Amino acid sequence: MPATAEAPTITVYAAAHMSLEAPESRSRAADWSAYLGALAIPLLIIAAIGRRAGLIDTPGTFAVMATGFLSAALAVIAALAAFVAIWLSGARGAGAALRGLVLGLVVLALPTYGAWKVVTEPRLNDISTDIANPPSLAFAAGDRGPGDAPVMALGTAQATLQQQAYPDIVPRHYPVSTARVFAEAEAIVADRGWRVLDAQAPDDKDPGGSIVAVAQTPVFGFSQDVAIRMVEDGDGTRVDMRSAARTSAHDLGAGAERIRSFFADLDGALEGASGGGASSG
Protein backbone atom coordinates (compact mmCIF):
# COMPACT_ATOMS: atom_id res chain seq x y z
CA MET A 1 0.00 0.00 0.00
CA PRO A 2 1.19 3.44 -0.75
CA ALA A 3 2.45 5.36 2.25
CA THR A 4 0.04 7.87 3.66
CA ALA A 5 1.39 11.44 3.28
CA GLU A 6 1.87 13.13 6.59
CA ALA A 7 -0.25 16.26 6.91
CA PRO A 8 1.90 19.34 6.96
CA THR A 9 2.06 21.24 10.22
CA ILE A 10 2.51 24.98 10.53
CA THR A 11 4.32 26.46 13.49
CA VAL A 12 2.43 29.49 14.68
CA TYR A 13 4.30 30.26 17.87
CA ALA A 14 6.00 33.40 16.54
CA ALA A 15 2.79 34.78 15.06
CA ALA A 16 0.90 34.03 18.24
CA HIS A 17 3.61 35.72 20.27
CA MET A 18 3.45 38.83 18.12
CA SER A 19 -0.32 38.98 18.30
CA LEU A 20 -0.36 38.65 22.08
CA GLU A 21 2.47 41.16 22.74
CA ALA A 22 1.19 44.52 24.03
CA PRO A 23 2.00 47.54 21.83
CA GLU A 24 4.97 49.60 23.03
CA SER A 25 3.77 52.53 25.18
CA ARG A 26 4.89 56.16 24.97
CA SER A 27 5.70 58.40 27.91
CA ARG A 28 3.15 61.21 28.22
CA ALA A 29 5.57 63.07 30.47
CA ALA A 30 8.08 63.15 27.61
CA ASP A 31 5.57 64.76 25.27
CA TRP A 32 4.56 67.29 27.92
CA SER A 33 8.21 68.12 28.52
CA ALA A 34 8.81 68.84 24.83
CA TYR A 35 5.63 70.93 24.63
CA LEU A 36 6.36 73.00 27.75
CA GLY A 37 9.99 73.56 26.77
CA ALA A 38 8.97 74.74 23.30
CA LEU A 39 6.31 77.03 24.81
CA ALA A 40 8.76 78.80 27.13
CA ILE A 41 10.89 80.31 24.37
CA PRO A 42 8.13 82.15 22.44
CA LEU A 43 6.76 83.45 25.73
CA LEU A 44 10.09 85.11 26.51
CA ILE A 45 10.34 86.42 22.93
CA ILE A 46 6.87 87.96 23.28
CA ALA A 47 7.91 89.57 26.58
CA ALA A 48 11.10 91.02 25.09
CA ILE A 49 9.56 92.32 21.85
CA GLY A 50 6.42 93.57 23.57
CA ARG A 51 8.41 95.47 26.20
CA ARG A 52 10.82 97.03 23.71
CA ALA A 53 7.96 98.07 21.42
CA GLY A 54 6.00 99.54 24.30
CA LEU A 55 3.12 97.11 23.78
CA ILE A 56 3.44 95.50 27.22
CA ASP A 57 3.89 97.48 30.43
CA THR A 58 6.37 96.51 33.11
CA PRO A 59 4.00 94.43 35.30
CA GLY A 60 2.69 92.65 32.21
CA THR A 61 6.24 91.91 31.05
CA PHE A 62 7.12 90.38 34.41
CA ALA A 63 3.95 88.26 34.25
CA VAL A 64 4.81 86.89 30.79
CA MET A 65 8.40 86.26 31.86
CA ALA A 66 7.23 84.40 34.98
CA THR A 67 4.94 82.24 32.84
CA GLY A 68 7.84 81.42 30.51
CA PHE A 69 10.16 80.52 33.37
CA LEU A 70 7.45 78.38 35.00
CA SER A 71 6.89 76.56 31.71
CA ALA A 72 10.63 75.88 31.46
CA ALA A 73 10.80 74.59 35.03
CA LEU A 74 7.86 72.25 34.44
CA ALA A 75 9.54 71.04 31.23
CA VAL A 76 12.63 70.03 33.19
CA ILE A 77 10.55 68.27 35.87
CA ALA A 78 8.49 66.43 33.24
CA ALA A 79 11.66 65.39 31.40
CA LEU A 80 13.18 63.90 34.54
CA ALA A 81 9.93 62.04 35.27
CA ALA A 82 9.88 60.76 31.69
CA PHE A 83 13.45 59.46 31.90
CA VAL A 84 12.57 57.49 35.04
CA ALA A 85 9.48 56.01 33.38
CA ILE A 86 11.42 55.13 30.22
CA TRP A 87 14.14 53.44 32.26
CA LEU A 88 11.67 51.36 34.26
CA SER A 89 9.13 50.44 31.57
CA GLY A 90 10.99 50.81 28.28
CA ALA A 91 8.44 53.34 27.03
CA ARG A 92 9.20 55.51 24.01
CA GLY A 93 9.77 59.25 24.13
CA ALA A 94 13.42 59.70 25.13
CA GLY A 95 13.99 62.14 22.26
CA ALA A 96 11.04 64.34 23.24
CA ALA A 97 12.12 64.31 26.89
CA LEU A 98 15.66 65.30 25.90
CA ARG A 99 14.32 68.22 23.81
CA GLY A 100 12.20 69.43 26.68
CA LEU A 101 15.09 69.14 29.11
CA VAL A 102 17.50 71.09 26.90
CA LEU A 103 14.98 73.84 26.09
CA GLY A 104 13.99 74.15 29.74
CA LEU A 105 17.57 74.42 30.96
CA VAL A 106 18.42 77.02 28.29
CA VAL A 107 15.50 79.22 29.36
CA LEU A 108 16.22 78.74 33.07
CA ALA A 109 19.77 80.01 32.51
CA LEU A 110 18.33 83.57 32.56
CA PRO A 111 16.72 83.48 36.03
CA THR A 112 19.67 81.45 37.32
CA TYR A 113 22.03 84.21 36.20
CA GLY A 114 19.73 86.78 37.78
CA ALA A 115 19.67 84.87 41.06
CA TRP A 116 23.47 84.74 41.03
CA LYS A 117 23.57 88.52 40.54
CA VAL A 118 21.13 89.04 43.39
CA VAL A 119 23.47 87.13 45.69
CA THR A 120 26.75 88.65 44.49
CA GLU A 121 25.73 92.29 43.83
CA PRO A 122 24.52 94.82 46.44
CA ARG A 123 20.83 95.64 46.68
CA LEU A 124 21.01 98.97 44.85
CA ASN A 125 19.06 100.45 41.96
CA ASP A 126 20.48 103.99 41.79
CA ILE A 127 24.24 104.49 41.39
CA SER A 128 26.08 107.80 41.17
CA THR A 129 29.69 108.95 41.05
CA ASP A 130 28.65 111.89 43.25
CA ILE A 131 26.69 110.52 46.19
CA ALA A 132 26.32 113.84 48.00
CA ASN A 133 25.08 115.75 44.95
CA PRO A 134 24.09 113.28 42.21
CA PRO A 135 23.26 114.47 38.67
CA SER A 136 19.59 115.39 38.36
CA LEU A 137 17.04 112.95 36.97
CA ALA A 138 14.22 115.52 36.84
CA PHE A 139 13.60 114.94 33.14
CA ALA A 140 13.64 111.18 33.69
CA ALA A 141 11.07 111.48 36.48
CA GLY A 142 8.66 113.06 34.01
CA ASP A 143 9.25 110.22 31.55
CA ARG A 144 8.54 107.43 34.00
CA GLY A 145 5.20 105.67 33.77
CA PRO A 146 2.72 104.59 36.47
CA GLY A 147 4.32 101.16 36.73
CA ASP A 148 7.82 102.58 37.29
CA ALA A 149 9.44 103.35 40.61
CA PRO A 150 9.71 107.07 41.47
CA VAL A 151 13.06 108.87 41.44
CA MET A 152 14.31 108.94 45.00
CA ALA A 153 17.08 110.82 46.77
CA LEU A 154 20.13 108.72 47.62
CA GLY A 155 19.96 107.82 51.30
CA THR A 156 22.83 107.44 53.74
CA ALA A 157 22.54 103.65 53.92
CA GLN A 158 22.44 103.42 50.14
CA ALA A 159 25.49 105.68 49.82
CA THR A 160 27.45 103.63 52.34
CA LEU A 161 26.55 100.38 50.58
CA GLN A 162 27.63 101.80 47.22
CA GLN A 163 30.98 103.01 48.57
CA GLN A 164 31.67 99.57 50.03
CA ALA A 165 30.59 97.64 46.93
CA TYR A 166 31.81 99.96 44.17
CA PRO A 167 34.80 102.03 45.36
CA ASP A 168 35.74 102.61 41.70
CA ILE A 169 32.52 104.49 40.90
CA VAL A 170 33.90 108.01 41.31
CA PRO A 171 33.99 111.24 39.25
CA ARG A 172 36.38 111.56 36.31
CA HIS A 173 38.59 114.52 35.44
CA TYR A 174 39.66 115.30 31.88
CA PRO A 175 42.18 118.05 31.02
CA VAL A 176 40.01 119.43 28.21
CA SER A 177 37.11 121.86 27.90
CA THR A 178 33.55 121.00 28.86
CA ALA A 179 32.54 121.55 25.22
CA ARG A 180 34.96 118.86 24.05
CA VAL A 181 33.83 116.41 26.71
CA PHE A 182 30.17 117.12 25.95
CA ALA A 183 30.67 116.44 22.24
CA GLU A 184 32.36 113.09 22.92
CA ALA A 185 29.80 112.11 25.56
CA GLU A 186 26.94 112.96 23.22
CA ALA A 187 28.50 110.82 20.48
CA ILE A 188 28.86 107.85 22.86
CA VAL A 189 25.22 108.18 23.96
CA ALA A 190 24.11 108.22 20.33
CA ASP A 191 26.32 105.25 19.45
CA ARG A 192 24.76 103.22 22.25
CA GLY A 193 21.27 104.00 21.07
CA TRP A 194 20.15 105.66 24.30
CA ARG A 195 17.00 107.76 24.01
CA VAL A 196 17.91 111.34 24.90
CA LEU A 197 15.44 113.19 27.12
CA ASP A 198 17.47 116.38 27.53
CA ALA A 199 20.86 117.65 26.39
CA GLN A 200 22.31 120.97 27.53
CA ALA A 201 25.50 121.88 25.68
CA PRO A 202 27.99 124.27 27.29
CA ASP A 203 27.73 127.89 26.15
CA ASP A 204 28.91 131.37 27.12
CA LYS A 205 26.25 131.70 29.79
CA ASP A 206 26.79 128.28 31.33
CA PRO A 207 30.07 126.48 30.70
CA GLY A 208 28.63 123.28 32.17
CA GLY A 209 26.82 120.61 30.20
CA SER A 210 24.46 117.74 30.89
CA ILE A 211 22.75 114.82 29.18
CA VAL A 212 19.76 112.85 30.46
CA ALA A 213 18.93 109.69 28.54
CA VAL A 214 17.22 106.32 28.80
CA ALA A 215 19.18 103.10 28.28
CA GLN A 216 17.67 99.63 27.99
CA THR A 217 18.73 96.32 29.47
CA PRO A 218 20.10 93.90 26.84
CA VAL A 219 17.43 91.19 26.70
CA PHE A 220 14.06 92.50 27.83
CA GLY A 221 14.64 96.21 27.29
CA PHE A 222 13.79 97.47 30.77
CA SER A 223 14.45 101.20 31.01
CA GLN A 224 17.40 102.55 32.98
CA ASP A 225 17.76 106.31 33.41
CA VAL A 226 21.16 107.88 32.85
CA ALA A 227 22.31 111.39 33.77
CA ILE A 228 25.73 112.79 32.81
CA ARG A 229 26.99 116.10 34.20
CA MET A 230 30.04 118.09 33.05
CA VAL A 231 31.39 121.09 34.98
CA GLU A 232 34.54 123.14 34.79
CA ASP A 233 37.13 121.90 37.24
CA GLY A 234 40.43 123.76 37.42
CA ASP A 235 42.28 123.17 34.17
CA GLY A 236 39.74 120.74 32.78
CA THR A 237 36.35 119.13 33.22
CA ARG A 238 34.83 117.03 35.95
CA VAL A 239 32.32 114.41 34.77
CA ASP A 240 29.75 112.77 37.02
CA MET A 241 27.33 110.06 35.99
CA ARG A 242 24.23 108.48 37.48
CA SER A 243 22.39 105.32 36.45
CA ALA A 244 19.02 104.41 37.99
CA ALA A 245 16.73 101.45 37.29
CA ARG A 246 13.04 102.16 36.93
CA THR A 247 11.63 98.76 37.71
CA SER A 248 13.31 97.11 40.64
CA ALA A 249 14.91 97.52 44.04
CA HIS A 250 17.91 95.63 42.66
CA ASP A 251 19.61 96.50 39.37
CA LEU A 252 21.77 93.33 39.45
CA GLY A 253 24.91 95.46 39.11
CA ALA A 254 23.82 96.95 35.77
CA GLY A 255 24.17 100.57 36.93
CA ALA A 256 27.77 100.25 38.05
CA GLU A 257 28.70 98.31 34.92
CA ARG A 258 27.06 100.94 32.71
CA ILE A 259 29.04 103.73 34.38
CA ARG A 260 32.31 101.80 34.07
CA SER A 261 31.66 101.05 30.41
CA PHE A 262 30.72 104.64 29.59
CA PHE A 263 33.84 106.05 31.21
CA ALA A 264 35.98 103.47 29.42
CA ASP A 265 34.57 104.72 26.10
CA LEU A 266 35.01 108.35 27.13
CA ASP A 267 38.61 107.67 28.21
CA GLY A 268 39.29 106.17 24.81
CA ALA A 269 37.67 109.08 22.95
CA LEU A 270 39.66 111.67 24.90
CA GLU A 271 42.93 109.73 25.10
CA GLY A 272 45.86 112.01 24.36
CA ALA A 273 43.70 115.13 24.39
CA SER A 274 45.80 118.17 25.31
CA GLY A 275 48.66 115.82 26.13
CA GLY A 276 46.90 114.38 29.18
CA GLY A 277 44.52 111.67 30.15
CA ALA A 278 41.63 111.07 32.47
CA SER A 279 41.94 110.77 36.22
CA SER A 280 39.62 109.67 38.99
CA GLY A 281 38.74 112.02 41.73
Residue 192 CA to residue 155 CA, distance in Å, equals 30
Residue 95 CA to residue 82 CA, distance in Å, equals 10
Q: Tens digits of per-residue pLDDT, 48-95?
A: 999 888 888 888 999 999 999 999 999 999 999 999 999 988 889 999
Residue 106 CA to residue 109 CA, distance in Å, equals 5
For the chain, the domains span: 22-120, 126-280
Helix, strand, coil percent values for the chain (each to nearest 5): 50, 15, 35
Q: Which residues of the chain have pLDDT under 50?
A: 1, 5, 7-23, 274-276
Stretch (H or E) spanning 186: helix 178-191
Q: Is residue 122 classed as helix, strand or coil in its secondary structure?
A: coil
Residue 74 CA to residue 53 CA, distance in Å, equals 29
pLDDT at site 1: 47
Which residue type sits at 27?
A: S
Q: Looking at the domain 126-280, which fold is it?
A: TATA-Binding Protein (3.30.310)
Q: Is residue 268 classed as helix, strand or coil in its secondary structure?
A: helix
